[in-house]
Chain A
Amino acid sequence: MSENAVIKLSHLEKSFGENEVLKDINLEVSKGEVISVIGSSGSGKSTMLRCINLLEIPSGGEILYEGKNIQDKSVKLTEYRAKVAMVFQQFNLFNNMTALDNCVKPQMIVLKRTKEEATKIALEFIEKVGMSAYVNAKPSQLSGGQKQRIAIARALSMNPEVILFDEPTSALDPEMVGEVLEVMQDLARSGYTMIVVTHEMGFAREVSSRVIFMDGGYIVEEGTPEEIFKNTKQERTKQFLSKVL
């Protein structure tokens, strides 16, 4: 498994001043895996995800992408980020662009695709997330669920190797959670490599190939959904699950 790890975290640490958020994180992600990261707020889930994209600079340890340390000088940060797309809790669509341009412009700017090519790719993914009717709408004209679906289409348009989801449904009202989860389930089935920080236990249980439970800056337990949800080993995990399930 170690050879085909797309992303490997080894002894990853991150502290904000005195506050140690990540203490010793070791994780390997293979191609095609769908990993759900669960845990209570403040356990370091989002920070770990943000470290993978280097939105937060780790305080210690290494992040390897296809065997290369991404903090190495030889790795171009922008090229790496283009391969590791991110979907945010707050959607973060570019407010100055239409839904379509949100998916087209990054391709043109970063991947130097032509407008025609980029538009074709973008429309394909926008259709995949069921948002074709809204290509010309501005983000301010879309609902939360619609924004998140466009954000997913934007991530997909970059043809990334890995997609990171940072609590993609936490800012949505309950009715809209479904539409976004559906899209994500679809992606998981089509073989995308995904790391999903989520509070949606249903998603973690049914869709993911591996579940990770984090607490206090450590990975406390990891395993298949079956192992985590049915044959829970750690006391802390049991405690957490008993509250959320």
Chain B
Amino acid sequence: MNFFNNISNILDKYTGLLLKGLGYTMLIALVGTVIGLIIGLCTGIIRTIPTSKNKAVSIIQRCVNALISVYVEVFRGTPMMVQAMVIYWGFAFANGGNTLPLIPAGIFIVSINTGAYMTEIVRGGIISIDKGQFEAAYSCGMNHFQVMLYVIIPQVMKNILPSVSNEFVINIKDTSVLNVIGVMELFYQATKIQTMTYQIFETYLVVCVIYFIMTFSITRLLRLVEKKLSGSNSYTICGSQSDPNAEIRVKEGQ
């Protein structure tokens, strides 16, 4: 049949382009999500610093918090496609027509866009942690950064992992908007293939399936990680409780 021939023809002839697009899509989505998460964690730590008694410091704190809010609102309130154009061409405008290299530009755009969402996700994650965890850590004599680093963030990470993997999956799909500035990700390659084959439906169907396979397998994989992280609820104590010299271990069950 013609349809299947066309499909196999596209897969055959343009494997290189598709794989290259796939590679860039994954690279930008992955790095963007990780950097976005780091941005989110940093803003989360900064925003929860207790207000200082020192007047000057507390004014600086308020300014920083206001800046973070502006950042979040602006990047959540505008489409990433528009952000891409504004940042890419804004840089060119400011630098006399010199544009940013494409892949770093793509990663940068996805990162700060994701960072805005992650800021809110991390904030929710921190709020969900019992106040007692903070109090216990402070009462041991830890400072704010130690409290966050050793006690709160590890628990937050576990709680927000589903949202973070969700962001990652969204990013895999949303990198497609970067074609407006010419980043050679998967969608961009599809537009290229389409102009060469004139088989618009077949080309985008192939790309559609590739996107789905990626997002689906990533979702499953991250679900496994979540399960692993949440650990088991049962355990066995090996050894003797009455004899203090006996070797005692706690074995995790399933």
Contacts and interface: CB of A to CB of B under 8 A. Distances in A.
A140 to B, nearest CB: 7
Interface in A45-60: 53, 55
Given A134-B250, A136-B250, A140-B233, A86 B139 contact: yes
Contact of B136 (A82, A88, A135): A88
B141 A79 contact: yes
A69 B140 CA distance: 19
Contacts of B151: 94, 96
A83 B138 CA distance: 12
A127 B237 CA distance: 16
A111 B150 CA distance: 15
Contact of B155 (A55, A95, A158): A95
A137 B142 contact: no
A133 B154 CA distance: 25
Contacts of A79: 141
Nearest to A91: B132
A81 B155 contact: no
Contact of A81 (B139, B154, B249, B250): B139
Given A96-B155, A134-B237, A81 B138 contact: yes
B235 interface: yes
A109 B136 CA distance: 14
Interface of B: 130, 132-133, 135-143, 146, 150-151, 154-155, 158, 231, 233, 235, 237, 239, 241, 244, 248-250
Interface of A: 53, 55, 78-86, 88, 90-96, 105-106, 109-111, 127, 132-138, 140-141, 151, 154, 158
22 contacts: A78-B141, A81-B140, A82-B140, A82-B141, A85-B140, A86-B135, A86-B136, A90-B132, A91-B132, A92-B132, A94-B137, A94-B150, A96-B154, A96-B155, A106-B140, A106-B141, A109-B140, A132-B248, A137-B235, A137-B250, A140-B233, A151-B136
